[in-house]
Amino acid sequence: MTFVNQPKTHIRRCLGAIVLCMILSTSCNKAPQKESAPAPLPVTVFDLHETRPSSWNRLTASIASWKTENVGFEVAGRVQFVVEPETDVSGVLYGSNAIKNEPPAILARLDPTRYELAVESAKAAVNAELRRQDATKVEIEHVIPAQLRAAEAERVLADVEMTRAKQLIASKAISKSEYDRYTALLAAKTASKDQLIGQKEQRKADLASIEANVNRLKQDLAEANRDLKDTSLLSSYPAQVSQVHAIPGAYVERGSPVCTVQMMDPMRVDVEVSAQMARNIQHGNRYPVFFRQRDGKEIELRAFVYMIDPTADPETRTFTVTLFVRNKKTKAEAPPELKGVPFARTDSIFQIVRGLGNQNNNRRYTPESAIQKDNQGLFLYKIQNRKATKLGRTNPILKVEKMRVKLGEAQIKMLGLLTFQEVELITPNEVDLDTALFTGPITVPSQKGVIWDGKTVLEDRRRWQLRPGDLVSVELGVETLPGFYVPLNSIRIEGNRKFLFKVNPDKKIRKVEIATFENVGKLIRIKATGNTKLDAGSRVVLGQAHFLKDGEAVNIVEEVEVRP
């Protein structure tokens, strides 16, 4: 057998043909494959629940006085008295049901001397004119009628004589000149009567003028009395004096501000809110206001909406909501050490002063209101556990004892506010006046069966709970209607229409048209408007609303709970 070597190119050609036949055979026998379906979209869902949430936000607000005004006299004059700042004054009460037994406190007073003289002068002018009026009435009612009767008698006599003269002139018993005399006499008597009639009418006109002048003078008297009354300055409402602009001795013009008063009850609460929150707040709604006392305790008060600004602040785009809250003065709570111990209260502490008004004056003075009296005589309450050298915060519990005094001769009024009485110490060597302190007027407990020991006093100056400028917290909330509340990111907006996607039991989503209502935080109340209903327990897709298609299958990867 003979082996013949074939060329390499022939071998390669044979191998290529064999491979091509195998590929063609495989392709012809392989069946066509179908295209695979896309995987369901993973989504997060939540169940619908019908709720009625309420939205409450605690916001910082500021306290301000509802009414503040600068008050001054309606007349000019020299100031005699002005109250001190922080003084509470009662206002003038108007109306038929006003309490008349409580006269309003005086803010300031002018020297009334010139106005008292003006009143007396006006009274004298009225009295003088009234006397002239009475004299004119007497003249009209009595004098002139008597004169008229006399004139009439003289006219009648002249007429009789004239009749006789006519007869005599007819018989030529008298001359023509004598007859003329009788004629002139009759005419004169008649004219005299007519003159009295005219005079009576004139005096009536004078009487009307006098009566008008009496009314004018009475008005002047009323004006003088009003000017005298206006020397006492009153507040038009219960208020606190915040500033004083004049001191006793100063001369003030009419209308010049003497002091500033601010209403302390009720107080105004101003809080800034967004436009959406302002729409949900109604006039008259009540909201809680919180503030902290001196001891750190948080107190809750109730305020009601008084006003909502009609325009927003151009810089912050917020609206100012004004609420009213009642305010009151509070007294200090008794420390635990005084539990079960009867004690008195005082709102002032003072020192005995020497040389008041004159450094060379060695007399001792004390506020007149601090002098007490018992069966043994006059005394002051001297504080045993506090000295004038003590600085800073001190213990409000005072221990006092009686120190006997006698009244001196001198008495000094300081700016019309305080009256200082000279006193003489019965035991002067036992008291160091440079450091000794004394209590002002004290208030003894009035409860039945409670007897004060005469030694324990609590220093207590009553203060207003709220003051202008204080910061408080206000909880503003919106009461909502019951319904379905969903997150905003579960809603799809297409033009003017809104939708959300409901997951059916077959895991396919259904596009549901809805209507939206009020917001509560990040939730909004909805209601289905199309043919598809939304029931409690329905599953709704959360988020991804803009990527979903109606009827699309989804894969629920997470279920969350949405609660207001």
CA distance 61 to 290: 10
Exposure on the CB side of residue 22, measured as CA atoms within 13 A: 6
C-alpha 525, offset from chain centre: 38
Beta-sheet pairing, 364-367 with 344-346: unpaired
- Would you say 316 and 272 are in contact if contact means Cβ atoms under 8 Å apart? yes
Amino acid at 325: V
Per-residue tokens: 24: 């063609």
Residue 266 · residue 114 · CB < 8 Å:
no
- Exposure string over 298-319, b if 16+ CB within 10 A, otherwise e: eeebebebbeeeeeeeeeeebb
**How confident is the model at residue 14, as a pLDDT?**
45
The rounded Cα 476 to chain-centroid distance in angstroms is 21
d(CA 365, CA 413): 11
Cis status of the peptide bond prior to 266, with omega within 30 of 0: yes
Contacts of 102 (CB under 8 A, 6+ apart): 90
Smallest Cα–Cα separation from 296: which of 348, 338, 347, 333? Answer: 333
8 Å CB contact between 511 and 550? yes
Handedness of CA 258, 259, 260, 264 (dihedral sign): negative
CA distance 433 to 91: 40
CB-hemisphere CA count at 13 Å for 211? 8
Q: What is the pTM of this model?
A: 0.63
Helical segments of 242-290, H only: 275-280
DSSP code for 326: -
Q: Treating both helix axes as pointing N-terminal to C-terminal, what angle do 113-138 and 176-229 enclose, rounded to 10 degrees?
A: 150
Cβ neighbours of residue 193 closer than 8 Å, sequence gap 6 or more: 148, 151, 152, 155
Q: At what angle do helices 144-170 and 176-229 cross, to 10 degrees?
A: 170
DSSP state of 508: B
| Distance of alpha carbon 240 from alpha carbon 261, whole angstroms | 5
Structure tokens belonging to residue 276: 């959406």
Contact 280, 293 (CB under 8 A): no
Per-residue pLDDT tens, the chain, 564 aa: give them.
333 344 444 444 444 555 454 544 444 444 444 555 678 888 899 999 888 776 667 889 999 999 999 999 999 999 998 998 888 888 776 555 555 545 678 899 999 999 999 999 999 999 999 999 999 999 999 998 998 999 999 989 988 988 888 888 888 888 888 888 989 998 998 999 899 899 989 989 999 999 999 999 999 999 999 999 999 998 888 899 999 999 888 999 999 999 999 999 999 999 999 888 888 888 888 999 999 887 778 889 999 999 999 999 888 889 999 999 999 988 777 777 877 788 888 888 888 887 776 655 678 888 888 888 888 888 888 888 888 877 666 778 888 888 888 888 887 877 767 788 888 888 766 778 778 888 888 888 777 767 888 888 888 888 889 999 999 999 887 667 788 999 988 999 988 899 999 999 888 889 999 999 877 778 888 999 878 788 888 999 998 788 888 888 888 888 888 876
Q: Which helix (H) or strand (E) holds 2?
A: none
Name the nearest CA neighbour of 91 among 110, 75, 69, 74: 69
Whether the CB-CB separation of 108 and 246 falls below 8 Å is answered with yes
According to DSSP, the β-strands at 344-346 and 319-325 are unpaired
Residues with Cβ within 8 Å of residue 364, at least 6 apart in sequence? 352, 353, 354, 408, 422, 423, 424, 425, 433
* 3-state secondary structure labels for all residues of 336-349: HHHCCCCCEEECCE
Which of 470, 327, 314, 457 lies closest to 396 in space, CA to CA? 457
CA angle 240, 244, 248 (to 5 degrees): 125
Tell me the C-alpha distance between 63 and 86, whole Å.
Answer: 17
What pLDDT does 35 receive? Answer: 54
- pLDDT value, residue 359: 54
Distances, alpha carbon 404 to alpha carbons 97, 265, 425, 430, in Å: 47, 42, 7, 11
- H-helix or E-strand spanning residue 560: strand 554-560
DSSP state of 553: B
How far apart (Å, rounded) are the C-alpha atoms in residues 274 and 214?
66
Q: Do residues 370 and 436 lie in contact, with contact meaning Cβ atoms separated by under 8 Å? A: no
Count of CB atoms situated within 10 Å of the CB of 104: 16
Rounded distance between C-alpha atoms, residue 496 and residue 529, angstroms: 13
Write out the two tokens for 291.
């503030």
